[in-house]
Structure formats: structure tokens, C-alpha cells
Amino acid sequence: MASGFTLWFTGLSGAGKSTLANRVQEVLLERGCKVEVLDGDVVRQNLSKGLGFSKEDRDTNIRRIGWVCHILTRNEVAAIAAAISPYRDIRDENRKLIGRFVEVYCKCDLETLKGRDPKGLYEKALRGEIANFTGVSDPYEAPLNPEVEIDTAAEDVETSLAKILTTLEAMGYIPVGDGRGYSAEEEETIKQRLRDLGYI
Amino acid sequence: MRFGRREKRRACVVGLDGVPFGLLRRLAEKGVMPRTARIIAGGGLRQMKAALPPVSSVSWSSFMTGANPGEHGIFGFTDVDPATYQLRFPFFSDLAVPTFWDKLGERGLRCCIINQPATYPARQVPGALVAGFVAIELSKSVWPREHLPALERMGYRIDVDAKVARESPDKLLDDLDATHATRRRAMTYFWEREEWDYFQFVVTGTDRLHHFLWNAVVEESDSHHARAMAYYRAVDEAVGDLWDLFHAARSGDREGEGFFMLSDHGFTAVRQEVRLNAWLREQGYLSYRTDAPATVADIAPTTRAFALDPGRIYLNTKGRFPRGCVETGDAPALRDEIAKRLRALTYNGESVISHVFLRDDIYTGPRTALGPDLVALTHPGFDPKGTTKAREVFGSTHFQGMHTWEEAFVWSGVPVPEGPVIHDLAGAIGGWLS
């Protein structure tokens, strides 16, 4: 019986996938979960080293990440993938393979992304200096029915984080409990129980 | 239960909340618990000390971590917020050290734990967990959540409704029977479904029975004695069934090896409540800002000491409490003075307090400073309370039973340390499984 799951961030470069993946990792570790992050940029330095950006290579890269997530998930790890993963059919293939799969679509308009552009990639792509650049010279197929959709142009990180955690809690994939204590109603119930048994 | 290909050691623990050593032995000898009697007949039953103070949240936290409260940070069912003196209620994630289940998980072992007090809200464990008292909602008591629908279908009950106990002993006994039956179903469900190396099943109805109907348990003339014994027979069946299942499922080990039974504290009859805040007030250490104090949040700024359940006494020290009035340098003398006066407390000429422990004598670890300055234990019959509502130091109570410290028990098929304390068992269990 597996109690792991895969949280799959998809979206254009610079949309906030890695930032959110790392933030979710922090919270899940605090809640006692075992967590691994597979960041697309990091994966391309090792597991997928040598692969390019053709459709075939991109598919291979995403299938590899999906397979590792599958192994981690069945070993009760919260696997977090943060990769552009532009093609819907390969993402859905991974969903089918993994089962306990939560897709997070990090939506962000091109104007905002061009404004962020920390690596200058959009600028180069728009000048035609980078081929097959997703969102500029290569297609991005947005999810049709993601478990979580985040507009990173409009939301701050903590708001997006809360959406993701709420979804994971509702799906029963992570323990409920935020470390801030019980609600007033829960506290009153606990008080009453303790009173009933003479403990307060 | 499904087994892997290779033979490996397993452990099974039965927790009997609040069952004293003497009572267990007596019920075994009298034939009320024949299957338990068979288990303990070959020896191995030991008297064991609970944690301090001897309440379930502290004792079970000590059991599951193998640590003392100075390390795990759980000192009672309640804590006080230093800034406001409002009560807060520690939860599972307040546990400051890993459980031994976590450590077993790091070794690739799986645990299945049913009705473990002090684990609410449930969090990830290497296997499955159903939290016990003070669990409120079943949906937050189960890890992983995929077991929730099955538990709901079987009508799993987290706990008895203690309110009915005041209305009618028979209703309480009905509720105890029904709750125990659902726990048995959960036990079977997890046994058959989960792969585990460590299985734990805790009976908490025994504690509830003792709080409300202790006389029915120990006095044959009590009108509810027969039903109380029937409940114990049902508990004995659960113990015996687990013993049989465990032995049928393993191979190679000698009988009893890997099987453990324990309680988290003892029990005895109550004669009088001892309201420690009323005593502190009477002695001039405590005053209130209001005529109707609801909690210690209502203490006046001049208060030098206050008490929380069951026998925890805190000095209102500057630095520890922002509104504290006791200078740090004056605290040791004040603490010793209160301890001395407590030891001299009598009721109709009878000594009330059996022990007064200083914090640093009983707790070690980084959380020690968060503990009470003193922990007072009483002689049997005097139940220490932290209520702020009572004006009189002594008073009657509708409860029939109270916790004791030194009369918990452990039965183990493998050696446990001499003079065992509840936090010793994690090491013994982990050692067996290594």
C-alpha cells in the first residue's frame, strides 16, 4: 500500500515552478513527510544529460522524471516534479503510471514572464537565438483539468502554497495540521473531553 | 496479513490504558482474564513506573519516543501560554523528538498502530496510524487517509462519550462494549490488510471504566461488577486473539518473544480531590483578579505559583512568564518552601502528598525548562487537581478512580531493564526488532 504521491508542476520557464516546489518541500518536511524534488533544470544535468529540446527528447526527459516519481511514490515519498513538461499526452501518461498524481498548472502570461526573465532566455528566444523555446517557438499545451491552477502573475507565493496544501489535505495525501494549533471549535471540544474525564 | 518472502522478526504490543499491575494479576488469577493468565503464567509480568506526571499524554509520549518529557516536550494534556496564561492543548506535532516508529521506518520497517493516545492529528508514520484520545474527528485521526472509508464503514468509534457516564453507568458500559467491538473490527482489518513489522493495539476503555466505575471493577458487591468483569473478559479476548494471531504469523522465535503488553499508568480509588490552586491560595502564593476564576489566566499579577492538572506547580517567574513576579534568584527558595509545605499537607491527620519532585531531578533534555517547577504526587485516594474554580482544598468528586505512578505494568517476552519505566520500552522493542 503506497501513501506517497507525486506533485507535478507544469508551466512555462520562469512561471514559478521551482520556487513553489521548494516551498512545498519545506512545509511537507515540517509535517514529517519524506520528500524529493526533481527539478527539470537539475535533471537535465544528470538523469537526462545529453538530451536536447526536440519533441522526442523532451518526451524522453519527462518520461524519465515520471518513472522516478513513480518509484518514489510507491515507496511512500512525496515526489515533487518541477519541469516545463509542455506536452499534455506525456503528462497524462505519467498520471496513469503513477496513479497518486496531483497536477499543478503554474499559469503566467508571456508579458510577465518577459518582465521576469532572470536568465535572459525570453529575450534571446524572441530574437531567434534559442530554438524550440516553449511558449515562444515551441508549443505549450496547458492542462485541461489540473488539480490545482495557479496564476503566478497575480498571486503571491504563500497564496499559491496554501492552495496546493489545501488540495493535498483534501485528497488525504498529507496530514491535516498546520502547527498553529486547534481551531476555537476544536479547542472547545477538547476542553470538554478533558473536563469529562477530570483532566482539567 | 501478508508476509514477505524472507523471515524477519516482528513485534506486537497491546496497550491497556490505566490498568494497574495488581489488578491485572488479580483478574488473571480469578479467571476473569484466562488468556492473559496463560501469557503471564510463565513470568515476565513486571510492575512499571509511568512518566511524570502519570497521565496518558505524557506516559504514551514517553513510550512512543523512548524519551522523558524534558526531551519530548509533553508535560500534560494542557500547557500554559507564557504570555497570556491561557491553556493550550499540545498535539502530536508538538512532540519534539521522533517516535520509535519513525526510527523503525528509517530501517525500512512498517508499523501499524491502532488507538494510540496523544497522536492527534495523525501524521505520516511508516505504515498506518489511528490516533486515540484526544482525537476529535476520525478524518484527522487516520494516516494514511485511504483507510478512512473502511473505518467509517465499520462504524469505528474514536472514544466513548464520557458525558453519558455521569448519566448512567449502564450507558457507559454499553458504550464501552460498542466502542471495543469497533476497535476489534479495526484490529482485524489492519491485521489482514497491512504488511507490518510492528503492530500495536491500545485499549483505552479500561481507563474510562476505572475513572467512572472503579468500585464496580474492584468490589464484587457492586451492582455493576458483573458487567465490568464482562468488559474485562472482552479485553482478555482481544489480548488472547492478538497473541494467537501473532504466534501463528511468525516462525522461529520462542513463545512470547516479540510480544509486549503494558499500561501507561496505574489506578486506585479516589476519596478526596486535592485542589492545588486552592491550597496555593490558602498558603498566600496565589490570588485571582476575579471572584470567579475560570482558568489560571485569571491569576493576579502578584501570584507567585499556580498549578495545572494533575500535580504540576509552576513558579510565576520573571523571564519565563512576561507577567511573572518572582525574581529568578528567589525562585529556588520559593520552590523549596512550597515543596516543604506540600509534604506537610494533611487531611484529617493523614498525609496527602507522597512525593514532591523538583523539575531538574526528573527531567533531562532541552525541553526541561518548559516543564513544571514541581510535580506533586499524592497518596492513594487523594486526587490532585489544577482547577481554579474550587475554593476548598479538599472536596468530593463523582469520579471513582484516579491515576497512580508506580503501578503500571509491563509484560514482555524479551528482557526489559530492571525497575522499568515506560520510556525504557522503546529501546527494548527496537532492540528486539534489530
**Mean pLDDT, to the nearest integer, of B332-351?**
98
**Distance between start and end Cα atoms, chain A:** 40
Mean pLDDT over all residues of chain A?
Answer: 89
Region of poorest pLDDT, from A185-189, B74-78, B187-191, B236-240: A185-189
Strands (E), B326-396: 346-347, 350-351, 353-358, 374-378, 382-385, 394-395
- B332 and B376 belong to one structural domain: yes
Q: Is the pLDDT of residue B58 over 70?
A: yes
Residues of A in contact with B143 (CB under 8 A): 3, 175
CATH number (domain holding residue B261): 3.40.720.10
Please, is B301 exposed, middle or buried when counting C-beta atoms within 10 Å of its C-beta (0-12, 13-18, 19+)?
Answer: exposed
Is A8's pLDDT higher than 90? yes
Closest B-chain CA to A168: B145
Closest to B366 (Cα-Cα) out of B45, B116, B69, B62: B69
Ramachandran quadrant class, A198 (left: phi over 0; alpha: psi -120 to 50; beta: rest): left
Cβ–Cβ < 8 Å for B101, B13: no
**What is the distance between the alpha carbons of residues B401 and B270, in angstroms, rounded to a whole number?**
5
* Cβ–Cβ below 8 Å for A175 and B124: yes
pLDDT at A131 over 90: no
Cβ-Cβ contacts under 8 Å, A168 against chain B? none
Q: Which of A179, A182, A180, A164 is nearest to A25 (CA)?
A: A164
Is residue B119 assigned to a domain? yes
**Residues B296, B178 share a domain:** no
| pTM, full prediction | 0.77
pLDDT of residue A162: 82
pLDDT of residue A2: 40
Whether B385 has its CB under 8 Å from any CB of chain A: the answer is yes
Residue B223 has pLDDT above 60, yes or no: yes
Integer-rounded Cα radius of gyration of chain B: 22
What domain count does chain A have? 1
Q: Decide if B2 is inside a domain.
A: no
Residue B282 and residue B182 share a domain: no
Question: What is the set of active-site residues of A?
Answer: 85
Number of folded domains that form chain B: 2
Same domain, B120 and B217: yes
Instruction: Locate B48 and state its grid cell.
Output: 512499571
pLDDT digit string, tens, across residues B29-53:
999 999 999 999 989 999 999 999 9
pLDDT in tens, B256-282: 999 999 999 999 999 999 999 999 999
- Tell if the CB–CB gap between A176 and B55 is shorter than 8 Å: no
Given the DSSP bridges, would you call strands B127-131 and B111-116 parallel, antiparallel or unpaired? parallel
Query: Are B63 and B117 part of one and the same domain?
Result: yes
CB A24 within 8 A of CB A165: yes
Give mean pLDDT, residues A39-50. Answer: 92
Q: Compare all CA atoms of chain B with the CA of A184 and give the residue at the minimum distance.
A: B88
Q: Are residues B228 and B296 in the same domain?
A: no
Question: A178 pLDDT exceeds 70?
Answer: no
Quote the minimal CA–CA distance from B212 to chain A in Å: 9
Residues of B in contact with A173 (CB under 8 A): 145
In a domain, residue B362? The reply is yes
Do B317 and B412 lie in a common domain?
Answer: no
Q: What is the mean pLDDT of chain B?
A: 94
Q: How confident is the model at residue B4 (pLDDT cuts 50, 70, 90)?
A: very low
Residues of A with Cβ-Cβ distance to B163 under 8 angstroms: 196
% of chain A surpassing 70 pLDDT:
96
Å between A63 CA and nearest CA of chain B? 27
Ramachandran assignment for A190, one of left (phi > 0), alpha (psi -120 to 50 degrees), beta (any other): alpha
Query: Which residues in chain B are contacts of A181 at CB distance < 8 A?
Result: 88-89, 91
In a shared domain, residues B387 and B415: no
> Is the separation of the CB atoms in B261 and B27 below 8 Å?
no
Closest alpha carbon to A8 in A80, A85, A87, A100: A80
Same-domain status, B285 and B409: no
Pairing of strands A5-11, A78-82: parallel
Nearby residues of A6 by Cβ (< 8 Å), 6 or more positions away: A69, A70, A72, A73, A78, A79, A80, A81, A94, A98, A100, A101, A102
Asked whether the predicted pLDDT for residue A3 surpasses 80, the reply is no
Average pLDDT rounded to a whole number, residues B186-205: 96
Residue written as grid cell 524472507: B6
Find the range with the poorest average confidence among B123-127, B202-206, B354-358: B123-127
Q: According to the model, what pLDDT value does residue B296 have?
A: 96
ipTM: 0.91
DSSP secondary structure letters along B156-179: --SS--HHHHHH-HHHHHHHHHHH
Inform me whether the pLDDT recorded for B167 exceeds 90.
no
State whether B287 and B306 are in the same domain: yes
From the candidates B17, B59, B124, B265, which should be mutated to test the interface with A, based on the most A CB atoms within 10 A?
Answer: B124
pLDDT of residue B251: 67
> Is A172–B148 a contact, with Cβ atoms under 8 angstroms apart?
yes
Quick one: which H or E segment has residue B229?
A: helix B225-249
B6 pLDDT higher than 50: no
Specify if B3 maps to a domain: no
Backbone φ and ψ for B72, nearest 5 degrees, come out as: -85, -20
Pairwise CA distance, residues B236 & B241, whole Å:
8
Q: Is B211 on the interface with A (CB under 8 A)?
A: yes
pLDDT score at B7: 62
Of A114-123, A133-142, B18-27, B235-244, the one with minimum mean pLDDT is A114-123
pLDDT higher than threshold 80 for residue B364: yes
Q: B107, B134, B213, B385: which to substitute to probe chain A, counting the most A Cβ within 10 Å?
A: B134
The residue type of B393 is V
Is B146 in the A-facing interface, judged by CB distances under 8 Å?
A: yes
Residue A71 has pLDDT above 90, yes or no: yes
- CATH number for the domain including A35? 3.40.50.300
Q: Is A198 on the interface with B (CB under 8 A)?
A: yes
**DSSP-assigned letter for residue B114:** E
Interchain contact A3–B (C-beta under 8 A): yes
Closest CA to A174 of A98, A81, A80, A68: A80
B259: Cβ contacts below 8 Å, ≥ 6 apart = B11, B12, B13, B14, B39, B243, B246, B247, B412, B413
Q: How many CA atoms lie within 13 A of B372 on its CB side?
A: 27
Tell whether B6 is covered by a domain. no
Task: Give the domain range for residue B390.
Answer: 272-396
| Closest to B15 (Cα-Cα) out of B52, B67, B50 | B50
DSSP state of B147: G
Query: Is B38's Cβ below 8 Å from some Cβ in A?
Result: no
Q: Which chain B residue is nearest to residue A190, measuring alpha carbons?
A: B134
User: Is the CB of B162 less than 8 angstroms away from the CB of A172?
Assistant: no
Residue range(s) defining the domain that contains residue A73? 5-196
Is residue B3's pLDDT more than 70?
no
